[in-house]
Chain A
Amino acid sequence: NAGVTQTPKFRVLKTGQSMTLLCAQDMNHEYMYWYRQDPGMGLRLIHYSVGEGTTAKGEVPDGYNVSRLKKQNFLLGLESAAPSQTSVYFCASSYPPEGYTFGSGTRLTVV
Chain B
Amino acid sequence: TQLLEQSPQFLSIQEGENLTVYCNSSSVFSSLQWYRQEPGEGPVLLVTVVTGGEVKKLKRLTFQFGDARKDSSLHITAAQPGDTGLYLCAGVALGNYQLIWGAGTKLIIKP
Contact = CB atoms under 8 A, between A and B. Distances in A.
Interface residues of B, number: 19
Given A31-B97, A43-B88, A100 B103 contact: no
Interface residues of A, number: 20
Contact of A102 (B44, B101, B104): B44
B103 A105 contact: no
Interface stretch (B15-23, B35-43, B53-61, B63-71): B35-43
Contact of A97 (B35, B43, B97): B97
Mostly, the B contact residues are: strand
Interface of A: 4, 31, 40-43, 45, 90, 92, 94, 96-105
B13 to A, nearest CB: 21
B30 A97 contact: yes
Given A92-B42, A99-B35, 6 more contacts: A42-B88, A97-B92, A99-B45, A100-B43, A100-B99, A102-B44
15 contacts: A31-B97, A41-B103, A42-B102, A42-B104, A43-B43, A94-B97, A97-B31, A97-B92, A98-B48, A99-B45, A100-B33, A102-B43, A103-B42, A104-B40, A105-B41
